[in-house]
Structure 1
């Protein structure tokens, strides 16, 4: 019976493929999949999915294992078993906005009441501001988040940042750090219960490769 691993397309796909290959797992055709969304190699089946869908595949047991960004896992809140923080694709979730908002964030939390926050991560945003006892207006966007303050749609944004170049290009600065995120190896509860030896074998191989790469 094949072991199914879900991989997120996009930004961290190449990181996931590099770890699979570096761990010595069969992955013929995975580096250049073309339009294929399912690739079989040896005893493994790889599913290429939209990042936000990956936790769903795992939680429902469609995939035994998966690579998923920490931001995606936090936002989905799906019940999965986190096995390993690979450290790849590391970035930060931040609140950012124009400099004119900086004083508001330095003041008392009450200054933030009614703040308009544009984000792709409404659950993370709600959790962050609720923990501070602040009620904000969350505007759920799916792309070009940085435009929202410039167009007057929001006061600030909550998004992931790696280098900060996109923020600077749009005259935004970090107002508040929320958390750090990176690519994680996760498994379904069902698979950890019924196929633990296979899951553990993959986890150990990837973990060894990750440790070898670290300085």
Structure 2
């Protein structure tokens, strides 16, 4: 049964307040997240949804900046809801909530368009920082965490089989040799600073290469870049 609560519905803020929609079938978890976020300056919880269908409807009505999305919910699950929101309301960024040890399909949420994932037992300060980071247009999943999740679950997920041999993926042909090298290192879990040290260039140069390859590949952030690197076979789970 659908359970929703809305607060402060509107078409969008005139200020820099980050508007957050909570989507989780456990009322106590939603209450906990709301208590944390309501105490933060510049963050407003504008609604709560207890299933994926409600989350999609409320994302359309409220146009939140960030949706905190659980994976396992009745009816439409969080992965389906994420894909719909990412496709229909790309300005609303989605953070997948997972217990990680049991939600093997959390990676599918990243492929569906989520900007990252959070563990449900994440510290309040990290939750707040993650929301601010995503609202600013960046991703919250470090390359190392993404890599680990792909290594554990990627081979078992639908649609993640290695590409048929016969040549590189056409998308990768848009990149220069240096950009392809940077993409490989990003997918292997290196930070910008570590890539700079590996390639003997400045961190600013690495940031430029990352920005260029994201643009050429029409990707939103590093998370999607890592996913693409694995999907195309550029990097394989060890």
Does TM-score exceed 0.5, indicating one fold? no
- TM-score where L is the length of structure 1: 0.31
Higher relative contact order (CA 8 A, sep 6+): 1
More strand by share: 1
Q: Return the index of the structure with the highest Cα Rg.
A: 1
